Amino acid sequence: MILIKFKNFTGIHDINMKLLLIFSAFSFSFPLGTKAVDVPKGAEPIALASQPGISPDGKTFVFVWAGDIWLASTDGGKAKRLTTHQAEESSPIISPDGKLVAFISQRTGTWQVFVMSVNGAQMKQITYHTEGYFLMDWYPDGKNLLVRCRRDHAGPSGERFYKISSKRRGPEELIFDAAGDEGRLSPDGTKLLFHRGGAGLYRKGYVGSQSSQVWQWDGNQFTKLVADSQGSRSPRWSDDGKSFYYVSGKSGAFNFYHKQLEGGQEKQLTHFKDDSVMLPTVSRDGKVLVFRYLADFYRLDLTKEGAEPVKITVWNRGQRLGRQSIEKQELRTVGQAVFSKDGLEIAFVSGGDLWVMDTVLKEPKRVTNTAAEEREPVFSPDGSSIIYISDDGRSASLCRAKRSDSEKYWWQNLNFNTEQLSEDGEVIEDIIYSPDGKKISMIKGSGDLWISDADGKNGTKLISSWNAPRYDWSPDGKWIAYSVYDNNFNRDIWIVPVDGSRKPFNLSRHPDSDGGVRWSPNGKLLAFTGRRYDTETDIYYVWLKKEDEETGSRERNLDKALDAMKKGRPKPKATPKVPIKEKVKPKDSEENRFIKALRIMFDLPASVENKPDPVPPKPDAKEEKEEVENKEKDLGIDFDGITDRIHRISIPDVSERGLFWSPDSKKLAFSAKIKGVEGIFSVEFPDKLSSPSLVLSKSISMPRWLSKDSRIVYTASGVPGSLAKGKAEAYSFKVLTERVPEEYQRVGFLQAWRAMRDGFYDESLNNRDWKLIREKYEGMASTAVDRYSFSRAISLMLGELNASHLGFRTISRNSYKAPGWQDYTAHLGVIFDMNHVGPGLKINKILTDGPASEEKSQLKVGEIIMQINGLDVSLKMDLTEVLNGRLDRDLTLKVQELGDEQKIREVIMRPSSYSKARSLVESDKIKDTRKRVEELSGGRLGYLHVARMMWSEFQKFEREIYAEGEGKEGLIIDVRNNGGGFTADHLLTVLVPPVHASTVARGGGTGYPGDRRVYATWTKPITVLCNEKSFSNAEIFSHAIKNLQRGKLVGVPTAGGVISTGSRSIMDLGTIRMPGRGWFLPDGQDMELNGAVPDHLIWPLPGELPSGNDKQLDKAVQVLLSDVEKANNESKAKLIRASQRKATGDESSQ
């Protein structure tokens, strides 16, 4: 165990950042009504807090910060911590009498509602349903709470508002069967304000079908109150219930407005020119509004005309340990690890720094100690240096480390010399030494491949590319093989000479992507992976010289036979000369192993008699010989006919990846799952390619096959390891270290900022000044109190782009887990009649394929469940009292049968989960919709639902084209609520096939051979249903249907969110989505913020679709029947056989 002190970084950057933060605190676009309170010296300022809930009199408010509930004055000052649990807490709301606080917590494993006194005492859990809750509001009498829950309603909008008790466990009372968010009750408790839709809290400037609208429910009907194209959200009641407040983006930024219910007069209350007010809370006396703007809370006096918002400065002192200037870490895993070529030393990255250690003592020595993230360590071929990338967020620099004492091993050194080899501002990745160590190759920027001298100087660009190639050096250092995407996003294998003497040569030339290229150590072969047959990835290889391709198995066996004879029958050795005996020096006594280990551990000198020369190890003779031979060989390449020499290694139903060669080039190893075993396998070249052998039964990364002991080195589960002679060994370690969170988070923020700068599909970055954006959020992110606050800062930055497919998912450091095993609320596979007033639970619907539909536990609609496990049940109780427990258990039901006798029978049932129930509800809904289309069309039309643009859904679609299209004249294709994927072109291949001919067999009708087509096809009329939740690839499909004039669109404009996206890790802070590829219509218009507009626009009212009133579907049937009639009335070409064709003069002469 080693304790290492972190050196604090100081410099002009820190001073500039402090000045920036001071400037930012006062750089607002509005005058402050009152001077904000200053944070006392030594106190911890509270920023990026969330979920404020104001007291009835507006004097105090609760909020969430650092995972707990806090209470503070709306005038600012010291905050009081109300909860101290390790689990996350959220959504605190103060009761109407100001005495209680309701909130939700994950302390039981799922989000449950708790109530406590306003000073944090007398805490009580109220709910127990394991599907969880979101807290919305208190009822005015304080006896009940409004919550939002997801139960067994289908679709992406499956959450509903419920009324629950605030005092004790009780039933959940459904308010109405429609989706909504941010529900707030009127002062008399009879009405409900809420909003629907929304493109994201932090997104700025969105205009489209996903823009949110404000609605009211009065107990009988819904009324749309506000529907600005820029979005309207977060409605809050005034104290008299005659007006309401809401947030709207119609001014260009999200500001606060006050609107009268009668007459509709409204007034803008805040006037921010940029950024958004969010998370508003209004006191019940109607006097004070509290909201968050950027990182801070603000207060607005609603009693004063023209009042301006005042910043609420709150801080922590003594309520928690506070933000630590130094964070202690215990490191046991690596991010990346490489071994010296003898396998005895390891260079690895852990905790963002570079370390080295040996494989015996395993005591890491720290090479770097910076705020930057180090990665990609590479030993030089002679082992004298390590190159690596040092990424401080502004630059990803090529650096080199050397030992201070080159006479000692890496792990014996305590100090190291590091230097930067690249220029400031450069972004470099994928660094590799040339085989002779004289050159370094690297990727610069988006994808240019450069080669420089070993000191980083004299760099030349070998390849220009918009995406990063993945590459490998030839053993003689004269060639580089690489894979790179073209503009059609197909990846081929290329070969280019390092001296640039000829243009890159496309080796693979295949329409499916190839990659993972690896050069054999003897230089004769290139191996790579490619997906050329269905969805399976296989290994391919090519002999680079014709003579090697033409060498037959007999010649190879002959060589083996001669080698065997030489080894088995060596020539007689010459008689050695008898040496003259010399005086033999007594052999030194061998040093005790334990003493030797202690001496090495504490870096003590050996005894004078035994002291070895501390020189680095000499290269293994065999390895050195092999490397020299490989380097000296002229690896000429016969390009003529080389693509014909590409061969496939076919291992059925296996996708191979991660290729690496044995040092003698006789074996090629790879990662795969074969016959249920995940691990490393190998094939033997060139005659045993179809029989892979298991090498290691575990998943590994960064493998390398060394000459010494034929050892394979790797990383597995974050720990370096090796395999030699069938024995696997792990090189575990442990170090204690420290880092500065503020600098660490600053680097993480800058990496995320740079990722967007360099990778966002639109280089104009939504016309934002990205440098100013960095300055705006850098301090906010670096000083964030926890990962969630850091994520909010990143999300605010991403919101500036006003784009889809953006997001940052934090890696939580909260290790809390509820004690014991987890209970689950079981689902019986039935939907209850919520209007039933008697005892028991009356069955309104049986879910197909659910527990209640099975023969041994079958229930019927109309029957009443009277008891569960011996307890009487009804809608007036909290059903979790009988339904919570393990899912792998049986429930005993007492069921009252149908009929006058009302017999009671016992049913034993194994319940399902709520997630399974939702899936069954969705399946039944599709069946009901299909049945309705049959009824409305008189059996002439079919219905297909495409839930996702994924492969499994497409396979289902292709099957249903035949099953549901049989005998139908048209098809309705429903992509509503389809979140996207990648299969739009596959669907279009089915629906828009090339019609160039038809066939007729004797006695048969007109058709076309199905086995000649790529997929089953449908050429009859179609109509497509889409809505605001049709997203990404589903939008591409909708646009295509309209632009190709294949059919009509019915419904609501799609979301306007079409960018292809990937992701990348930001250190160990989280993962950021990378939308890097735009999609454009034939007229050149970007599909982003440009949803597909239906030919027939129909917005459903809240509650219509759940009740089965699908006006969009009804219209689609009407439109499609009309198109079917038109198609049927179109004249069709008459088929004329050759025998019926009138001969012309030319024809008769032939």
The predicted-structure confidence for 212-234, as pLDDT tens digits, reads as follows 999 999 999 999 999 999 999 99
- The pLDDT confidence band at residue 288, using thresholds 50, 70 and 90, is very high
Supply the pLDDT for residue 587.
Answer: 47
* Structure confidence at residue 552 as a pLDDT band (50, 70, 90): low
Cα–Cα distances in angstroms (integers) from residue 979 to residues 549, 949, 1042, in the given order? 49, 8, 19
Specify the pLDDT at position 156: 83
Residues 274 and 214 in one domain: yes
Query: Strand, helix or coil at 29?
Result: coil
pLDDT > 70 in the chain, percent: 89
46: helix, strand or coil: coil
Region 1009-1035 average pLDDT: 95
β-pairing verdict for 1096-1097 and 1047-1051: parallel
- The C-alpha torsion from 993 through 994 and 997 to 999, rounded to 10°, is -20
Residue 478: predicted pLDDT: 96
User: How confident is the model at residue 1101, as a pLDDT?
Assistant: 95
pLDDT at 149 over 50: yes
Mean of the per-residue pLDDT values of the chain: 90
Residue 521 located in a structural domain: yes
Check whether residue 48 and residue 165 sit in a common domain. Answer: yes
In the predicted model, is pLDDT for residue 28 greater than 50?
no
- 286 confidence band (pLDDT: 50, 70, 90): very high
Burial class (CB in 10 A: 0-12, 13-18, 19+), 72: buried
* Structure confidence by residue, pLDDT tens digits, 874-891: 999 999 999 999 999 999
* pLDDT tens column, 938-966: 999 999 999 999 999 999 999 999 899 99
Range from 69-83, 535-549, 749-763 carrying the lowest mean pLDDT: 535-549
| Whether residues 873 and 927 fall in one domain | no
Mean pLDDT computed over 753-770: 96
Q: In what order do the strands lie in the sheet with 255-260?
A: 232-237, 243-248, 255-260, 266-268
Q: Is 600 inside any structural domain? A: no
Assigned domain for 938 exists = yes
Sign of CA dihedral 317, 291, 1071, 814: positive
Q: Do 312 and 284 sit in the same domain of this protein?
A: yes
| Rounded Cα–Cα distance for residues 443 and 965 (Å) | 52
Q: At residue 8, does pLDDT exceed 70? A: no
- pLDDT score at 157: 86
* pLDDT surpassing 70 at residue 22: no
3-state secondary structure of 40: coil
**Which CATH number belongs to the domain containing residue 880 in this structure?**
2.30.42.10
pLDDT computed for residue 592 by the predictor: 57
The pLDDT-based confidence of 23 (bands split at 50, 70, 90) is: very low
848 plus 983 within the same structural domain: no
Kindly state whether residues 260 and 305 are assigned to the same domain.
yes
pLDDT at 708: 85
* Rounded Cα–Cα distance for residues 974 and 949 (Å): 12
End position of a domain, from candidates 287, 316, 345: 316
In tens, the pLDDT along 355-401 reads 999 999 999 999 999 999 999 999 999 999 999 999 999 999 999 99
Confidence of residue 816 (pLDDT cuts 50, 70, 90): confident
Q: Are 901 and 933 contained in the same domain?
A: no
* Residue 14 binned pLDDT confidence (cut-offs 50, 70, 90): very low
| Mean pLDDT, range 978-999, rounded to an integer | 95
Q: How far apart are the first and last CA of the chain?
A: 96
- 930 and 908 share one domain: no
Three-state secondary-structure class, residue 125: strand
Q: Give the tokens for residue 10.
A: 């100081």
**Which pLDDT score, from 0 to 100, does residue 535 have?**
79
Q: Within a 13 Å sphere around the CA of 317, how many CA atoms are in the beta-carbon half? A: 9
The CATH number that applies at residue 649 is 2.120.10.30
Burial class (CB in 10 A: 0-12, 13-18, 19+), 418: middle
965 and 847: one domain?
Answer: no
pLDDT confidence of residue 1070: 95
Give residue 604's pLDDT.
52
Evaluate whether 477 touches 435 at the Cβ level (below 8 Å).
Answer: yes
**What is the percent of the chain with per-residue pLDDT over 90, rounded to a whole number?**
82
Give the domain extent around 899.
827-912
When mean pLDDT is compared across 271-285, 402-416, 450-464, 573-587, the lowest value belongs to 573-587
Q: Copy the structure tokens of residue 570.
A: 């060596």
- Residue 1070, domain member (yes or no): no
Mean of the pLDDT values across residues 975-990?
A: 97
Residue 262 has pLDDT above 90, yes or no: yes
The pLDDT assigned to 815 comes to: 73
Residue 704 has pLDDT above 90, yes or no: yes
Q: How confident is the model at residue 811 (pLDDT cuts 50, 70, 90)?
A: confident
Residue 510 falls inside a structural domain: yes
User: Which residues, at least 6 apart from 1073, have a Cβ–Cβ distance to it below 8 Å?
Assistant: 805, 806, 807, 808, 1061, 1062, 1063
Give yes or no for residue 870 having a pLDDT over 80. yes
Specify the pLDDT at position 1027.
Answer: 98
pLDDT at 301 over 50: yes
pLDDT digits (tens, 9 = 90+) for 1075-1133: 999 999 999 999 999 999 999 999 999 999 999 999 999 999 999 999 999 999 998 88
Distant-in-sequence, close-in-space partners of 599: CB < 8 Å, separation ≥ 6? 591, 605, 606
User: So what's the pLDDT on residue 585?
Assistant: 47
CA distances for 505 relative to 448, 466, 508, 520, 870, angstroms: 17, 18, 9, 19, 77
Is residue 159 in a domain? yes
The pLDDT of residue 622: 53
- Provide the number of structural domains found in the chain: 4
Are 848 and 988 within one domain? Answer: no
Per-residue burial over 124-151, b = 16 or more CB atoms within 10 Å of its CB, e = otherwise: eebbbbbbbbbbbbbbbebebbbbbbbb
d(CA 235, CA 280): 9
Asked, for residue 195, whether it belongs to a domain, the answer is yes
Rounded CA-CA distance 144/123 in Å is 16
Residue 1143: DSSP 8-state: P
Do residues 852 and 968 both lie within one domain? Answer: no
Last residue of a domain, one of 856, 886, 912: 912
CA distance 869 to 871: 6
Decide if 708 is inside a domain.
no
> Could you tell me if 876 and 942 lie in one domain?
no
- pLDDT confidence bin for 595, thresholds 50/70/90: low
